[in-house]
């Protein structure tokens, strides 16, 4: 058993099992048996994997490598188990082995591959049930399938994160949190797409051809298109969130400025009352005027309570007017 560790919190486990042809009863029974064995093996060894990764990161001299443990409240997810039967050319001469392969591939997209295995075809790798003829150590077909599974799982994780981020926005999350979540998941998806494109550049021609064939069988392009569509939704929602935030900030600024202006009106009335009374009590203050100001005289004659009441009434009237105008704009 070995693990192939990738970024995006994804690891692909390869478990090699030996069995006799007599152990094979049906594809359904064999699939269940393999799934159970592999799941148990992964759960029993993933703790050791984490410790080995920690040790490797601690001993590494590179600052680009870091280990971020999964939070305790986050459940580690086992996505799926694919199964590959490895046979030799000699074994294909046995009639029971041919029948086993035919039954093994009957539910795949290409059951006709069973008749071609060992003749014009040395592998059948479409979805979950595979057959490889004359496999070698570090066989490129197995490593290509491992890489394909990583690409698919990682992109599916990105799509799930995008969908969760979009759902949180529509569920009414805070604008700032929603924008940060959307931007983070969108960035992760784009980085994953770049990583996949970069990795495929360095594949050998046979490996790249096999990878493209696997992607075509899995409809990987549709998965990518779904991710791009969700990223477009993210862009739209981020723009909407920014516009909404700007509107909220503008409304807050308007309300603050309006509140200041209300107090300024009230303060102006109080100042006029105070100034007019001072002028009336000290004639020397208006010695340059030809006659006493009737406006100041009128204001000075008003009762202080009336001035305060007038100020509050003016503030109330302006406040009602502001609310009405603001609603009309909306």
Give the tens place of pLDDT for each residue, 146-171.
Answer: 888 888 888 888 888 888 877 877 77
- Across the range 122-139, mean pLDDT stands at 85
The residue written with tokens 């004359």 in the block is 134
Q: Are 168 and 241 in contact (CB under 8 A)?
A: no
- Across the range 303-323, mean pLDDT stands at 80
Domain count, the chain: 1
Asked whether residue 252 is assigned to any structural domain, the reply reads yes
pLDDT at 174 (0 to 100): 66
Say yes or no to pLDDT of 129 above 60: yes
Closest CA to 11 of 150, 155, 180: 150
pTM exceeds cut of 0.85: no
Query: pLDDT averaged over the chain?
Result: 81
- Across the range 128-145, mean pLDDT stands at 87
% of the chain surpassing 90 pLDDT: 0
Q: Are 144 and 211 in contact (CB under 8 A)?
A: yes
Better-predicted residue by pLDDT, 188 or 225? 225
pLDDT at 73 (0 to 100): 45
Asked whether residue 137 is assigned to any structural domain, the reply reads no
pLDDT at 107 (0 to 100): 82
CA distance 12 to 24: 25
Q: Are 189 and 158 in contact (CB under 8 A)?
A: yes
Max avg pLDDT among 14-23, 161-170, 180-189, 207-216: 207-216
List CB contacts of 221: < 8 A, sequence separation 6 or more: 215
CA distance 141 to 253: 63
DSSP state at residue 112: T
Residue numbers of the domain that contains 272: 245-329
Q: Are 70 and 46 in contact (CB under 8 A)?
A: no
Go through 110-135 and write b for each residue having 16 or more CB atoms within 10 A of its CB, e for each that does not.
eeebbeebbeeeebbbbeebbbbbeb
Q: 70 pLDDT band (50/70/90 cuts)?
A: low
Helices 205-218, 140-170: crossing angle, 10 deg rounding: 40
Asked whether residue 277 is assigned to any structural domain, the reply reads yes
Q: Which 3 state secondary structure label does DSSP give 305?
A: helix
Q: Are 156 and 223 in contact (CB under 8 A)?
A: yes
Asked whether residue 285 is assigned to any structural domain, the reply reads yes
Query: What are the residue ranges of helices labelled H in the chain?
Result: 27-59, 95-104, 113-116, 140-170, 175-201, 205-218, 220-281, 294-301, 304-329
pLDDT at 159 (0 to 100): 86
Q: 54 pLDDT band (50/70/90 cuts)?
A: confident
CA distance 289 to 280: 13
Asked whether residue 294 is assigned to any structural domain, the reply reads yes
pLDDT tens digits, one per residue of 226-274: 888 888 887 787 787 778 778 888 888 888 888 888 888 888 888 878 7
Q: Are 291 and 227 in contact (CB under 8 A)?
A: no
Asked whether residue 53 is assigned to any structural domain, the reply reads no
- Across the range 206-215, mean pLDDT stands at 88
- Across the range 206-233, mean pLDDT stands at 86
- Across the range 286-313, mean pLDDT stands at 73
């Amino acid at each position: 058993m070995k693990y192939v560790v990738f970024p995006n919190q994804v690891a692909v486990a390869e478990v090699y099992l030996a069995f006799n042809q007599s152990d094979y009863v049906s594809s359904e029974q064999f699939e269940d048996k393999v799934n159970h064995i592999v799941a148990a093996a992964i759960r029993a060894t993933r703790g050791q994997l984490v410790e080995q990764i920690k040790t490797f990161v601690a001993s590494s001299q590179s600052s680009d490598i870091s280990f971020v443990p999964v939070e305790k409240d986050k459940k580690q997810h086992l996505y799926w188990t694919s199964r590959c039967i490895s046979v030799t050319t000699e074994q294909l001469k046995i009639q029971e082995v041919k029948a086993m392969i035919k039954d093994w591939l009957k539910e795949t997209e290409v059951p006709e591959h069973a008749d071609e295995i060992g003749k014009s075809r040395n592998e059948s790798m479409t979805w979950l049930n595979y057959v490889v003829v004359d496999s070698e150590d570090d066989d490129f077909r197995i490593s290509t399938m491992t890489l394909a599974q990583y690409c698919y799982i990682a992109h599916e994780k990105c799509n799930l994160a995008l969908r969760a981020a979009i759902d949180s926005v529509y569920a009414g999350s805070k604008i700032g949190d929603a924008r940060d979540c959307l931007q983070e998941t969108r960035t992760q998806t784009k980085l994953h797409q770049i990583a996949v494109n970069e990795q495929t550049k360095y594949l050998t021609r046979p490996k790249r051809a096999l990878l493209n064939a696997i992607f075509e069988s899995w409809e990987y392009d549709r998965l990518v298109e779904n991710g791009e569509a969700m990223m477009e939704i993210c862009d739209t929602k981020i723009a909407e969130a920014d516009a909404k935030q700007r509107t909220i900030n503008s409304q807050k600024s308007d309300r603050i400025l309006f509140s200041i202006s209300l107090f300024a009106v009230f303060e102006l009335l109080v100042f006029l009352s105070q100034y007019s009374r001072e002028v009336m009590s000290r004639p020397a203050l208006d010695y340059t005027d030809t006659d006493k100001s009737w406006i100041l005289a009128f204001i000075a004659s008003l009762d202080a309570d009336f001035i305060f009441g007038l100020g509050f009434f003016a503030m109330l009237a302006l406040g009602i007017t502001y609310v009405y105008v603001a609603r009309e704009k909306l």
